[in-house]
Amino acid sequence: MTDDRRESVTVRIAGEEHTIRSSAEPEYTTRCAAYVDRRFEEIKKQVGLLERHKVAILAALSITDELFQARDTQEQTGSQIAERVNALAARLEDSLSDG
């Protein structure tokens, strides 16, 4: 949604229904919830029997780690692009001043 209206969307995470009020499109909220639910189930399978809140914390940490790694990769890529652009600009300036 592009305005400030909020819609309620009911999603299922870790076997429980949750109603989320958001200004995001309902499909996006549903997609986000499905991602969290998948990560929760993956962690639960990996660690076995563990209290639900601990599985939720581990899932949140796992998703946060993924986010931070993606941000780091994006920053590195941005820096590499900036370096290449600067190098090309310098070469162009040299070529134009030689001509």
Give the model confidence (pLDDT) of 42-96 as tens digits: 999 999 878 999 999 999 999 999 999 999 999 999 999 999 999 999 999 888 8
Q: What is the DSSP string of 22-86?
A: ESS-HHHHHHHHHHHHHHHHHHHHHH-S--HHHHHHHHHHHHHHHHHHHHHHHHHHHHHHHHHHH
Region 14-35: what's the mean pLDDT?
Answer: 96
Domain positions in the chain are 7-98
pTM for the whole structure: 0.74
Do residues 38 and 13 lie in contact, with contact meaning Cβ atoms separated by under 8 Å?
no
